[in-house]
A and B are shown apart, each in its own frame.
Chain A
Amino acid sequence: MRKVMTGNYASAYGAKLARAEVIAAYPITPQTSIVEKLAEFVATGELKAKFIPVESEHSAMAACIAAQTAGARTYTATSSHGLTLMHEVLMWASGARLPIVMTNVSRAMAPPWSVWVDHMDSIAQRDTGWLQFFCQSNQEVLDTIIMAYKICESTGVMLPAMIIEDAFILSHTSEPVDVPEQQLVDSFLPSYSPDLKIEVGKARGFGSLVKPDQYMEFRYKAMLAMKEAHDRILRVEQEFKHVFGREHGGLLERYRCEDAETVLVTAGSVAATAKDVVDALRANGQRVGLARIRAFRPFPHDEIRSLANKLEGIAVLDRSYTFGAAGAMFTEVKASAYSCQKRPVMKNYIAGLGGRDITPKILSRIFEDIQVIAKRGAEDEVEWVDVAGLPRRWR
């Protein structure tokens, strides 16, 4: 059934359709309406689940870890400072190999205090061993939650996943969303039954101490699982398409890239604006395209490499900045393209921090810039876009 709903409600419906059995969460702007909606579903009996209100995000994740260890399918949602407060237990969730699914409404980190979108919070958690999916639309948020459970709960993976929706641009903006029938979701997503869990009457310790002679083997297994997740994402999306008739682009969505000379790589909701810009520039005869990083972990290295092989220039737009280095997406894209026969010119654009709009005009200028420097060779590797006080005009 098609409904008009916010990204946050799409998250709540995704968790409900996936039949999450335990939901533990702490409210934070702009995530709050996700768990409010889920609390309502539980209160009205529409969703048979245990709802645990907790005193912090650290506790929310700890509760999910405990419930998931006991064999329950769990869900939580958070944002920015809540996510970073979870940092320690995010590591625990992945190390304990618990396929928890969480929505992070991506929001800038303070100070300066901000409630608006950028990706710093999510990017700061990239090494926690979670799969990370950046979404472009509310439909994708709902669909990815359902797919994530299936991907993560498969035997070869058993890792947690973070579904990232941009603060306000998706979280509080209403779009038409197809809410699939419960029966259809049930046929796609079987119930969760892990091989290893806490069992009554069987005393066992989980995540216990291992000495240096055994630690690396456990980390090696998690590494293999992340590799397996790459293939599983593609396979599950094909199954999803077969059942629901839609897909969202695998790990790297490529839009009009077939004969492109220059491509913009980015993630999140700005990709939707960029597609319109690509269409406009294509109508003017410019051979440009868009590649949207949908999965940041596992990173689509092979996809980027095969794309980069055919390109003259790549612009990477990061909605966050790693101080002392560059945008995290840029660093990864560059590493992927290093082994190309003929390396394209690459440049990093830092834009849209703290919720600043990335307008079609700004995106057009980025395309313009990358096309010029692709011919000439790059001079600045990283450029901050639309910063008052800098000489270049973007608006």
Chain B
Amino acid sequence: MTKSYQEIPLTPVSDTPSTVNLTGLWRVMMPVVDKGKCKKCTICWKFCPDVAIKLVDGVPEVDYQYCKGCGICAAECPSKCIVMVKEGEQ
């Protein structure tokens, strides 16, 4: 609903953080982690531009609510334990 110019502040201000936007819906390809092959180097965690990888005992856990499926983690993983799979085909 459009607010009149008199009702709005000088510049848009939001009280909610941008994390309310669940960007996981954008995903076409999804990263799948083979935890057994993981060497716990944490490179995927450092490279994820959306902070969508959490580490559990040094092993990546992808937060699929936010992961946009860019594939940087899979490209950077030296032990090739992350592979990109078409969404819905895993």
Of the four ranges (under 10, 10 to 19, 20 to 34, 35 or more), the interface on chain A belongs to 20 to 34
Most buried by A among B5, B15, B18: B5
- A193-220 CB contacts (< 8 Å) to partner B: 196, 203-210, 213-214, 217-218, 220
- A172-198 CB contacts (< 8 Å) to partner B: 196
Contact A217-B5, Cβ < 8 Å, known A205-B17, A205-B18 = yes
Judge whether A196 and B13 touch: CB under 8 Å.
Answer: yes
Judge whether A196 and B14 touch: CB under 8 Å.
Answer: no
Residues in A with CB closer than 8 Å to B5 are 217-218, 220-221, 224
Shortest distance in angstroms between B12's beta carbon and chain A's nearest beta carbon?
A: 5
Contact A221-B10, Cβ < 8 Å, known A214-B2, A214-B3 = yes
Q: Please, which residue of chain B has its CB at the minimum distance from the CB of A158?
A: B10
Judge whether A95 and B11 touch: CB under 8 Å.
Answer: yes
Shortest distance in angstroms between B18's beta carbon and chain A's nearest beta carbon?
A: 6
B8 at the interface (CB under 8 A from A): yes
Shortest distance in angstroms between B1's beta carbon and chain A's nearest beta carbon?
A: 8
Shortest distance in angstroms between A50's beta carbon and chain B's nearest beta carbon?
A: 23
Bound CA span A270–B12, Å: 42
Q: Which of A203, A206, A209, A220 contacts B11 (CB 8 A)?
A: A206
**What are 6 A-B contacts defined by CB distance under 8 Å?**
A95-B11, A97-B11, A196-B10, A205-B16, A220-B5, A224-B5
Judge whether B14 and A205 touch: CB under 8 Å.
Answer: yes
Judge whether B14 and A208 touch: CB under 8 Å.
Answer: yes
What mask results when residues 2 to 45 of chain B are scored 1 for a CB within 8 Å of chain A, else 0? 11110011111111111000000000000000000000000000
Of the four ranges (under 10, 10 to 19, 20 to 34, 35 or more), the interface on chain B belongs to 10 to 19
Bound CA span A166–B90, Å: 66
**Beyond known contacts A204-B14, A208-B12: 12 more, CB 8 A cutoff:** A97-B10, A97-B11, A158-B10, A196-B10, A203-B17, A210-B12, A217-B4, A217-B8, A218-B5, A218-B10, A218-B12, A221-B10
Shortest distance in angstroms between A85's beta carbon and chain B's nearest beta carbon?
A: 23
Q: How many A-B Cβ pairs are below 8 Å?
A: 51
Q: Please, which residue of chain B has its CB at the minimum distance from the CB of A206?
A: B13
Q: Please, which residue of chain B has its CB at the minimum distance from the CB of A203?
A: B17
Shortest distance in angstroms between A119's beta carbon and chain B's nearest beta carbon?
A: 29
Judge whether A221 and B13 touch: CB under 8 Å.
Answer: no
Most buried by A among B2, B3, B9, B11: B11
Residues in B with CB closer than 8 Å to A218 are 5, 8, 10-12
- B56-77 CB contacts (< 8 Å) to partner A: none
Judge whether B18 and A96 touch: CB under 8 Å.
Answer: no
Shortest distance in angstroms between A318's beta carbon and chain B's nearest beta carbon?
A: 33
Contact A204-B12, Cβ < 8 Å, known A217-B3, A220-B5 = no
Bound CA span A207–B10, Å: 10
Residues in A with CB closer than 8 Å to B8 are 214, 217-218, 221
Bound CA span A218–B12, Å: 8
